[in-house]
Amino acid sequence: MKFTVVGAGSSYTPELLDELAVRKDQLPVDEMVLYDIDEKRLEIMTGFCRRFAKKKGLAVPIRSTLILDDALDGADFVDTQIRVGGNRQRVVDEKIPIRYGLVGQETTGAGGMMKAMRTIPVMLHVAERMEKLSPHGWLINYTNPTGLITEAVTRYTKANIAGFCSGGIFPKMWAKKAFGVEYRQVQYDYVGLNHMNFISNITIDGKPLTEEQFEALAKVNDAIDLDLQKLMGVLPSPYLAWYYHTKRRVQWLKDAKMTRGEEVQLLEKEVYAAYADPACDEKPAALAKRGGGGYSEVAMNFVNAVYNNQDTEMVVNVPNRGAVPFLPDSAVVEIPCLVNARGMAPLHVAHVPPMCWGLIAEVKNYEQLAVEAAVEGSVEKMKLALLAHPLVRDYELIEKMVPELLAANKEFLPQFHL
Query: Which amino acid would we find at residue 297?
Result: E
- Compute the distance between CA of residue 215 and CA of residue 235 in angstroms, rounded to an integer: 10
Q: Which pLDDT score, from 0 to 100, does residue 418 have?
A: 60
- Check if the beta carbon of residue 94 is closer than 8 Å to that of residue 111: yes
pLDDT confidence bin for 102, thresholds 50/70/90: very high
> How many CB atoms are located within 10 Å of the residue 346 CB?
18
pLDDT at 266 over 70: yes
List, in sequence order, every residue forming a beta bridge with 333; answer none if it has no partner: 318
- Where residue 287 falls among pLDDT bands split at 50, 70, 90? confident
Q: What's the chain's average pLDDT?
A: 95
pLDDT band at 294 (very low <50, low <70, confident <90, very high): confident
CATH no. for 2-165: 3.40.50.720
- Is there a contact between 3 and 32 (Cβ–Cβ < 8 Å)? yes
Q: What is the pLDDT of residues 113-148, one digit of tens each?
A: 999 999 999 999 999 999 999 999 999 999 999 999
In whole angstroms, what is the distance from residue 194 CA to residue 360 CA? Answer: 10
Residues 198-210 have pLDDT tens digits of 999 999 999 999 9
**Lowest-pLDDT range, 30-39, 147-156, 207-216, 291-300?**
291-300
pLDDT at 252 (0 to 100): 97
Mean pLDDT of 377-403: 98
Which one has a higher pLDDT value, 324 or 287? 324
Asked if the model's pLDDT at residue 403 lies above 90, the reply is: yes
Whether 90 shows a pLDDT value over 90: the answer reads yes
Q: Give the C-alpha separation, 349 to 220, whole Å.
A: 25
pLDDT-derived band of residue 292, with 50, 70 and 90 as boundaries?
Answer: low
| 291 vs 299, residue with greater confidence | 299
Residue 183 known to be catalytic: no
Give me the catalytic one of 142, 188, 239, 307. Answer: 239
State the pLDDT at residue 293.
62
Judge whether residue 213 has pLDDT over 80: yes
